[in-house]
Amino acid sequence: MECLELMKNFYYVGVIDHALKVFDVAVRTDRGTSYNSYLLKTKEGVVVFDGNKEVFGDEYIQHLKSVAPLDSIKYLVVTHTEPDHSGAIEKLLTLNPSITIIASAGALMNLDRILRRPFSRIQMNPAAPLTIGEYTFQFVSGLMLHWPDVMFTYIKELKVLISCDAFGAHFASDAILLSREKDLAGYQKAMVYYFEHIMRPFSSYVKVACGRVNALDLKMICPGHGPVVDVGVKEQVAVYEKLAERYLSINDPEKVTIVYATAYGYTKGMAEYLRDRFLEDHKKVAFFQIDALTYEAEKEEILSSINSSGLVLLGSPTIVGDAICLFYDLLTAIPWTVGQGKKASAFGDYGWSGEAVAHLSERLKQLHFSVLPGFRANFKLDEDAKAGLASYYETLK
Ligand code: FEO
């Protein structure tokens, strides 16, 4: 693989992995990926951006060496510490222990635990650009894309943004540059898939980051995975911004999402009662009944509705001491970033033991929803239970 000179003195020194089929256990990578690293030659020494995956340590070192002697490397900028980018740092430091690592406070803390060895360090300061040789490095932190330690580096003189995992894709491209990539449709598909599976929970942070990126004078975005964006930079940022807007969580106090399952109609009766009361009170109600046949087709619409609701109600009967399993699938698809700031509650009818409401409430708490007390009833609602359901409704308003 060539270590392409992207601009004068600025090189691509990453590793391209065509063979990868799965990333982070659950993300399919049908087009493989790349672990991107970059190298900048300055008058004050060489600056490398990002390590690599441990398994590619030898290849990474070879790529660095092909562009500059290892002992000329003075700084390593770490954009975040997930081991697909930090795993090979130990090897690099073993070969050149004098390298100073520049990173966020969180990344330096993580590196202490990843490297388990002393190393020279500079904690970046987003308020104070760093000058190395003839280049100015402006760091942007607090991005939460998709780890808390993430930072971007803007190289002012080159108009280049090193963007960590943001604006990336699991897409192994020997072209390296987007301008040279022939399969643009495949790249766009992989980029959207990457967003949906990695960045989506952080859509509000993406929106903020895009605003900051739009304020920069940019020629090139250098992400942690996939092709370097050297054409259509503004358009790529706009695609990201649009995706973030699609998945942005909005806590609309006027909107309620009710998702329920029913075995014999009792929980359905509760759900319909709650729906009708909310409608009488002029709320917008999204109403979903789920079962094993319909759930998969409805799932994305339910998630989208939850995204834009201020209140989420889950109604489940109790079967074998728990809520219906479909609710757990749904609740593992909701990130805490969506739950935050929304109210939620569980309700349901039961025959024997009635654990569903308590179990769903517990899971909703884990997802950072503000959980209101639930309501449950045993078999057919008598007058007391009907009064209890009416009181329950009042607590949800
Ligand atoms: Fe590509 Fe968050 O690691």
pLDDT digits (tens, 9 = 90+) for 100-123: 999 999 999 999 999 999 999 999
Q: Is the pLDDT of residue 317 over 70?
A: yes
Reported as a single tens digit per residue, the pLDDT across 7-40 is 999 999 999 999 999 998 889 999 999 999 999 9
Residue 38, token pair as written in the block: 């970059």
* DSSP 8-state code for residue 54: G
Categorise residue 147: left if φ over 0, alpha if ψ from -120 to 50, beta otherwise.
beta
Is 84's C-beta closer than 6 angstroms to any atom of ligand 1? Answer: yes
Q: Which residue has the higher pLDDT, 376 or 26?
A: 376
For ligand 1, the distance from its centroid to the CA atom of residue 11, given in whole angstroms, is 20
Quote the pLDDT of residue 18. Answer: 96
Is 241's C-beta closer than 6 angstroms to any atom of ligand 1? Answer: no
Nearest-angstrom CA–CA distance, 214 and 167: 13
What percent of the chain is modeled with pLDDT above 70? 100
Q: Which residues are 139's β-sheet partners?
A: 153
Quote the pLDDT of residue 147. Answer: 95
Is 85's C-beta closer than 6 angstroms to any atom of ligand 1? Answer: yes
Categorise residue 320: left if φ over 0, alpha if ψ from -120 to 50, beta otherwise.
left
Reported as a single tens digit per residue, the pLDDT across 243-299 is 999 999 999 999 999 999 999 999 999 999 999 999 999 999 999 999 999 999 999
The per-residue pLDDT of the chain, averaged, comes to 96
What percent of the chain is modeled with pLDDT above 90? 98
Quote the pLDDT of residue 1. Answer: 66
